[in-house]
Amino acid sequence: MGYGTEALKAITKFCFENTELQRLWTEVDVRNIPLQKMLEKCGYSKEGLIRQGKMVNTWCDYYIYGILATLFRSWCYKICFMSEK
């Protein structure tokens, strides 16, 4: 497992176990395939496509990925985090 995957899992776990957040989301350039794979590996789902939206300081197509606390606590926690022990 790479550093990015480990960091994303740790941040996701922290957010849902130590705050009242119910949803995490991020925007990913459609050309960034490695990041899309990492998000999916960590339980995030592709929720939509924004065409020619503004991302940081450029206009591009991007996906919205997200994960809900309820999903994290049910299947994602078991799949993503229990397998590490």
Please report how many Cα atoms fall inside a 13 Å half-sphere around the Cα of residue 60, on the Cβ side.
13
Overall fold of domain 3-84: Aminopeptidase (3.40.630)
The span from the CA of 78 to the CA of 75, in Å, is: 5
36-77 pLDDT per residue, tens: 999 999 889 999 999 999 988 999 999 999 999 998 888 655
Burial (Cβ within 10 Å: 0-12, 13-18, ≥19) of residue 20: exposed
Map out the domains of the chain as residue ranges.
3-84
Confidence at residue 12, expressed as pLDDT on a 0 to 100 scale: 93
- The answer to whether 16 touches 8, Cβ cutoff 8 Å, is no
Confidence at residue 85, expressed as pLDDT on a 0 to 100 scale: 46
